[in-house]
Structure formats: C-alpha cells, structure tokens
Structure 1
Amino acid sequence: MTTVAFHMDAGRIVGFTVKGHSGYAEEGSDIVCAAVTSAVRLCECTVNDVLGLEASVRVKGDTISLKLPGALGQTNESTCQALLTALMVYFAELHEEYPENIIVVEED
C-alpha cells in the first residue's frame, strides 16, 4: 500500500511524504503507482523548476518527501497552498477509487 502523509503546521501544508508501493499490479503495470509518481513529479517540478523555490526533496528507497522552504512571500505561499491542497484532493480521490492501494493522512 502507498501511504501519503501531508505535513501540517497551523493549518498550512508544509510538505508531504509518499511511501510504499500500491500493490495494484506488477511493477511497470501499476496504474496507481504511475498516477502517484506523476502527480508527485508535477508538484516538485512546479515548486522547484517553475516557481524556483528550492523545496527540499529527499528520495530513499520507496519513499519521497518534499518540504517547502520558509518565508515564501504571499504570492508563492498562496500558489504552493493551492498546489498542495489540489494534490491532497487528488490523492484522496485515488483513495476512494483504490482504497486497498493508497491511504492519505494529515500529520501535525
């Protein structure tokens, strides 16, 4: 199962960690893993490459995490919160469709 944990601080999403493989199908044919990987990569590219914010990204084994930098400024903060909230909604919808393969949690 894939676990997606959104890290919260005072109602603000400050990052996320994605861990594990969904187990929906064999590696290379797993549509749930492909959906998760694609969404995570899009988010990371938007934050780091498009917005130029240099979020911390760590990859180790079957785990990837992203942590937003501090002091983003009002425009970047708003953009990042919209992006990460959309990611959370997307993963929640994947959970509704594939409840045995992905779980989404919020952590303080």
Structure 2
Amino acid sequence: MIKAVFYTENGRLSGFSLTGHAGCGTAGNDVACAAVSSAAELTCNTITDFFGDEAEVCVLENTLTLRLKNEGCGYSEKLLESFKAHLGFISEEYPRSIQIIVK
C-alpha cells in the first residue's frame, strides 16, 4: 500500500510524503503505482520548475517528499489539493492501494 501524507500549515496544504508500493501488480507492471509516481513527479516539477516556488524535495528509495518553503504563488497549494484529489480517484479505482492522511 502507498502511504500518502499531506502536510498542512495554517490550514493550507504545504507538502506531501509518499512511501510504499500499491501492490496492484508485479514490479514494473503496477498501473496504480505508475499513476501515483507520474502524478507526484508532475506535481514536484510544476511547483519548482514552472511556478518557481521554493520547495525542499527529497527522493530516496521508495520515498518522495515535497515541503514548500514559503506560501508561494498560491497555485502550488491548488496543485497540492488537485494531487490529493487525484490520489483519491486512483484509490477508488484500485481499493486498498493508497492510504491518504492529512496532518
């Protein structure tokens, strides 16, 4: 199961952390895991490279974390909300593949 933790500050989303695997297929053939990974990379790259917001991004084996360093342009929070919703849609399609937690 993928564990997706979304962080909040002052009532606003400020980042996320992903760990684990969806377990919906063999390595390299897990559609749910690939969908989450692709959406997460798009989210990170859009925030840092296109919106130009400062964020701490950490990529380790089986872990991806992004934390905004400031409130940014406002679009980053909306993108984080969209990413969270997207993970919810994937979870509906692949039950027991993603656990979403908001802290």
TM-score class, shorter: over 0.9
| Structure 1 residue identity aligned to 2:82 | A
Alignment match, 1:11: 11
Q: What CA distance in whole angstroms lies between the structure 1 residues aligned with 2:95 and 2:11? A: 25
Matched, 1:42 2:37: no
RMSD over aligned Cα atoms: 1.1
* Residue-by-residue CA offset, 1:31-71 (whole Å, 9 max, x unaligned): 00110010011011101111122311011220110001115
Q: In structure 2, list runs of 5 or more residues that go unmatched.
A: none
Matched, 1:102 2:68: no
Q: In structure 1, list runs of 5 or more residues that go unmatched.
A: none
How far off is 1:8 after superposition? 1.0
Q: What CA distance in whole angstroms lies between the structure 2 residues aligned with 1:32 and 1:7? A: 22
Determine what percentage of the aligned residue pairs are the same residue.
34
- Runs of 4 or more above 2 Å deviation: none
Q: What CA distance in whole angstroms lies between the structure 1 residues aligned with 2:2 and 2:64? A: 11
TM-score of the superposition, structure 1-length normalised?
0.89
Alignment match, 2:51: 51
- Picking from 48, 73, 76, the partner of 1:80 is 76
Corresponding residue pairs, total: 103
Matched, 1:90 2:86: yes
Q: What CA distance in whole angstroms lies between the structure 2 residues aligned with 1:8 and 1:71? A: 11
